A and B are shown apart, each in its own frame.
Chain A
Amino acid sequence: MSLEITGITKSYGRFPALDDVSLLAEDGEFLALLGPSGSGKTTLLRVIAGLEIADGGAIHFSGEDLLATPVRQRRIGFVFQHYALFKHMTVTQNIAFGMKSKHRRERPSKAAISAKVEELLSLVQLDGLGGRYPSQLSGGQRQRVALARALAIEPKILLLDEPFGALDAKVRRGLRRWLRELHERTGLTTIFVTHDQEEALELADRVALLKDGKVEQIGTPEELYHDPASAFVFDFLGDSFQFPCEVKDGKALIAGQEVPILGSSPHVDGPATAYVRPDGFVVGAPDGPGFQARIRDVLLAGTDARLDCVLDDDGSIEVRVPHAIAEKLAPRNRISLAPREVRVWG
């Protein structure tokens, strides 16, 4: 019962939105499509649903050719970014719409439909709100109605386009956890699109990172975070600083210091670029190993303390250090910053 996407291409005029994309979503998996805007993630989601038509490639669901199936027979639940609720219908009517759209022979009885609506309303925790119109609901409630409406057709796959994009931060966090629980309960193969790496890493079983219509890397959140396949992946998953370096015998030479290289990607000797996260520095006394810097500001609010530093070599960086270290420092202090370990790409 897996969803198998092979070699999907799609272009808008000259612009290639999807370029030979292949993916496999396992049965019951919670998969995130992550990427910057214009990376093709929403297009891919819409192609799976049949809302966009691919130029080439194939999509199979447990052996069935999905692209040959008309949209309305695909039984794919799709939750739109702005929900696309039917404004002139009540919540109940919205949720019942799919069941009522079935051919007369397959259509459940009226009683069965209302029982199912009630069941879904309680599943999305909207009991008693069935008579409301979408305009009378909050953003989070609308989102859950959209979800219930999609689940009502007993979909084989659930697709969510930027499910939290239109909500404010607080509602978003609550819904995130709730959605994860819901997925555990329904066990439905679910694919969601997001541009927020934190959301993808926290929610998904696996994450597919897209760039310019191609899959840059696919893997578990841990794999992506700890073993990024490219500079783009590393950079997209968090803040990073880049320095020129010299690779030699499996070590990187930065600011006169040999630094171990992380990750499994192979690297050849010669000039390259080193990538470091803001928390990847050891703070030392002036003239210690690494870069020489002057502290411009010490910021003590937040989980980590931050040091805003000006490098002697040019440029400025903001590194994250434990509070214990930061508390001993003050603006205008001189320090050295030594990368603990780096990642290297050409």
Chain B
Amino acid sequence: MSGLAKSPARRDPPFLVAGLIAVAVAYLALVVFLPLVIVFVEALRKGVGDYLAGIGDAEALSAIKLTLLVAAIAVPLNTIFGLAAAWCVTKFDFKGKNLLVTLIDLPFSISPVISGLIYVLLYGANGWFGPWLQEHNIQIIFSVTGIVLATTLVTLPFVARELIPLMQAQGSDEEAAATTLGANGLRTFFLITLPNVKWALMYGVLLSTARAMGEFGAVSVVSGKIRGLTATMPLQVEILYNEYNFVAAFAVASLLALFALVTLAVKTLLEARFSDELAAQRWR
């Protein structure tokens, strides 16, 4: 990238360079850094003791557990889905393929609140299946099940989105070669396809985990926000904030922010080291 700037044709006047860099840095500082810094400042406002108390609180701990549980269900589900969807979209030609790809992307453009709403319309007390569920004593909305459903929908495209362009570009020559060499479908998939997409798969899993743990809108519609039971970390942040328990709210928020920072770091690392295996370019 530094080579780009070398051509005299690309040299901008120094005052312009300095000005633009200043504008960009200031904008990033205002829009991105300041909110991040505030989270930690507020969390530690009353000292480390209060901070640790906020995190160690029983409700906070159960929120952390619930959040991890939900992610641990939603992300593997979407990973299996992403692999299956990418397999049929990229290795086969069939009618309606473009429509299928559009559908897979659709959850990205639906408001999270609507993503929660549609499950309430189905399984809520007044939902289509509400009466039947009540009869059989099954609770979906205002329970962990509902949170898992909403979180799964919100994070549904991530893995598939990372895999499809890459597998498209890779084509299916290697799979065809494995088949002519006598490998069966499972052997081909696990020994050839999966190793070829492993970094993109990890990338997708990373992004969907981050989103699953941080999802707020969809989850807040279906959860009922029962403290200690159906409150995920982001919901716990809201509950505490609305009770003016700011230090505790920011303490829980700081954990989420830390996780976001780790996500960014891993993401940056993956992009730097495996850019060709993430984007659709290869040495061939």
Contact = CB atoms under 8 A, between A and B. Distances in A.
Is there a contact between chains A and B in the complex with CB atoms less than 8 Å apart? yes
Interface stretch (A94-102, A249-257, A310-318): A94-102
B176 A80 contact: yes
Interface stretch (B37-45, B181-189, B230-238): B181-189
Contacts of B178: 86, 97, 101
Contact of B182 (A84, A98, A135): A98
Nearest to B184: A72
Contact of A86 (B174, B179, B282): B174
Nearest to B93: A12
A186 interface: no
A188 interface: no
Interface residues of B, number: 19
Given A82-B284, A84-B174, A74 B195 contact: no
Contacts of B243: none
Contacts of B187: 101
Contact of A149 (B173, B176, B181, B191): B181
A98 B176 CA distance: 12
Contacts, number: 67
B180 A49 contact: yes
Given A82-B173, A101-B187, A72 B180 contact: yes
B101 interface: no
Interface in A69-115: 71-78, 80, 82, 84-88, 97-98, 101-102
A153 interface: yes
A88 B283 CA distance: 12
A50 B174 CA distance: 15
A99 to B, nearest CB: 9
A80 B196 CA distance: 18
Contacts of B177: 78, 80, 84-86, 149
Given A97-B183, A102-B182, A84 B195 contact: no
B136 to A, nearest CB: 46
Nearest to A96: B181
Contact of B183 (A76, A84, A101): A101
B183 A72 contact: yes
B196 A87 contact: yes
Interface in B156-213: 173-174, 176-184, 187, 191-192, 195-196
A75 B182 CA distance: 7
A112 to B, nearest CB: 16
A78 B181 CA distance: 8
B179 A71 contact: yes
A153 B283 CA distance: 27
A76 B180 contact: yes
Nearest to B181: A98
A258 B195 CA distance: 70
A246 to B, nearest CB: 52
Main secondary structure of the interface of A (DSSP, over half): loop
A97 B181 contact: yes
A14 B184 CA distance: 32
B174 to A, nearest CB: 5
A329 interface: no
Contacts of A86: 174, 177-178, 191-192, 195
Contacts of A72: 179-184
A300 interface: no
Interface in B204-242: none
Contacts of A74: 180
B283 A135 contact: yes
A51 interface: yes
A175 to B, nearest CB: 18
Interface string A37-54: 000000000000111000
A98 B191 CA distance: 12
Of the candidates B179, B180, B182, the one having the most CB atoms from chain A within 10 angstroms of its own CB is: B180
B173 A80 contact: yes
Contact of A84 (B176, B184, B191): B176
Contacts of A50: 179-180
A80 B177 CA distance: 8
A72 B187 CA distance: 12
Given A72-B181, A101-B183, 8 more contacts: A51-B176, A73-B182, A80-B176, A86-B177, A86-B191, A88-B195, A97-B178, A150-B181
21 contacts: A50-B180, A71-B179, A72-B180, A72-B181, A72-B182, A80-B176, A82-B284, A84-B174, A84-B177, A85-B174, A85-B177, A86-B192, A87-B174, A87-B196, A97-B191, A98-B181, A98-B182, A101-B187, A135-B283, A149-B181, A153-B181
Interface of B: 173-174, 176-184, 187, 191-192, 195-196, 282-284
